[in-house]
Every structure is written in structure tokens, then in C-alpha cells.
Structure 1
Amino acid sequence: MAGKGKVINFAELSQHSTSQDCWLLIDGKVYDVTKFLNDHPGGDDLLLLATGKDATREFEEVGHSSSAKTMLNEFYVGDIDSTTKASDTVAATTTTPNQTEQNHDKKNSELFSMKNLQFLVPILMLGLALGGFYIKTPSP
């Protein structure tokens, strides 16, 4: 595991939150998942929503398999510095922790809406196309 023993603080973690440089914190360990973004079964958006902060809750809620948890080892960078706090990064950003949570909820809501639209729009189009065959035309 490259980076074994490296200690990373929250300020450094928060600097790696783009699709070109994506780090996650899961169970006190930091992972560079940049190269995995395109291969993630849930899509890169889900990983990008969790960057730069503690993503343990999101990771556990999904119910990842043991092989997914083992796969994390190849992306391991180091451990989080437990003497720093996530709130230490707030000074480096313009959002408060409450705003960050609201933004996260908004992004999750938008992602959920987008996935629903990707499913519902084709069904609606199919229904409209098939419905045209069943419309009775008035006879003269």
C-alpha cells in the first residue's frame, strides 16, 4: 500500500475534492479513488459527493461487499490526523457545516431526481408512442 503511515489532516483532505484528484475518508483512513471514478458501479457522482470529508456513513449505508472493502486497500493513502477536526476545514471554505450538509442533501436530491428522470422519460415516450396507435379517429 503506497503511502502507508502517512498522516493527513482535514485541511489536506479537503484539497482533494475534484474529479481529477478525489480523496475519501472512510473509517479514519484516506483513499485516493481518482483512478476508480469511472469504474465505480454507482457512478462517479456518488464518490464526488463524498470527497473532502468523512464519507464513512455514506460508504456503510450503501452496504458495500467485503470485496469492495478489500479493494480500498489499493487506494490507501494514509490515516487521518485525529487531532484535527473536520471543522478545521471550514475556515478554508465559505460554507458552514450546516450549509455543507444542506448542499450534500441538495446534491443527493438532484442525483435522485436525475436518476428517476432517466428511467421515467423513456417510459413516458414509449407510452405516448403506443398511445397514438389506440386513439380513435372520428369517422365521417
Structure 2
Amino acid sequence: MGGDGKVFTLAQVSDHNSRKDCWLIINGKVYDVTKFLEDHPGGDEVLLSATGKDATDDFEDVGHSDSARDMMDKYHVGKIDVSTIPKKTKYKPPKQPHYNQDKTSEFIIKLLQFLVPLAILGLAVGIRIYTKSTIH
């Protein structure tokens, strides 16, 4: 088709999202793949699910052959105005408290928090018993 001069916005391309009218954005170019839907080896659902967004990653992840890439020229209808495509944001994991892989030190602290007061109590009771027994 060869639509080198035409520039489309994402909104314009997104309107073409049905089996009767299907456009894709791949590598900054817009393709009308409506006539190819039935012939696509992966099925038409794959192509329809890639409408309304930049489908470059989807296309590249599959690993299309050189002949498939050459075939794209006949479906080319124009270019995408890249300023209309939202920027991809890098995933940032949520901040979480530090994870202590060595639980031994944590266990020892909790054990001491239990045993030290118990030892002090035992010592106090022992001293009291001892002093009572030595006074009488």
C-alpha cells in the first residue's frame, strides 16, 4: 500500500480494532492488516489483541521470519505520531522492609529477652530462699 506520507495518532489507529477494520503499530509504522487476519498463522485474535497500542514488543517477541517482515510492506498505510503514544514506565518494585536472611541473630535476641528476666527472677527467688534459710 505504501503510506509513507500519512501520519496517524494513536487515537486514530485505535479506532481500527475489529475484524472488519484492524490496524497495528509496529516499529513506528501503521499497518492495515484487515485482509491478513484470516491468513495469520497465529490466528486473528493475536492481531486483534495488539490493537490500540504499540505492538512492536509483541511482534518482536514472537520472532517473525524475514519473509513475514517483507510481507508487511503491502499492509503499510503510514507512520504513527510517536508523541501520542504513552511513554513506557520502568517497573519499580514497592519498597519493603529489609529482609534478614540470617534469622539466627533475631532468634537469639528473642530468646535472651525471655531468658534474662526469667534468670533474674530465679536469682531473686533463690536469694530470698537462701537468706530465709540462713537467718533461722
Between the two proteins, the alignment pairs up a number of residues equal to: 87
Distance in 2, matches of 1:72 and 1:12, equals 20
Distance in 2, matches of 1:86 and 1:31, equals 19
Equivalent AA in structure 1 for residue 57 of structure 2: R
What is the TM-score when the length of structure 1 is the normalising length?
0.59
Q: Is the 8 A contact 2:22 2:33 kept in 1?
A: yes
Matched residue, 1:59: 59
Q: Is the 8 A contact 1:10 1:86 kept in 2?
A: no
Distance in 2, matches of 1:66 and 1:14, equals 27
Stretches of 4+ moved more than 4 A in 1? none
The structural deviation recorded for 1:84 is: 1.8
Matched residue, 2:4: 4
Q: Is the 8 A contact 1:25 1:54 kept in 2?
A: yes
Question: Which ranges of structure 1 fall in alignment gaps of 5 or more residues?
Answer: 88-140
Distance in 1, matches of 2:74 and 2:33, equals 9
Partner SS for 1:79: strand
What is the TM-score when the length of structure 2 is the normalising length?
0.61
Matched residue, 1:38: 38
The structural deviation recorded for 1:51 is: 1.1
Q: Is the 8 A contact 2:53 2:85 kept in 1?
A: no
Equivalent AA in structure 1 for residue 37 of structure 2: L
**Paired-residue identity, %:** 60
Partner SS for 1:57: helix
Matched residue, 2:28: 28
Distance in 1, matches of 2:51 and 2:23, equals 6
Distance in 1, matches of 2:72 and 2:16, equals 17
Structure with more helix by fraction:
1
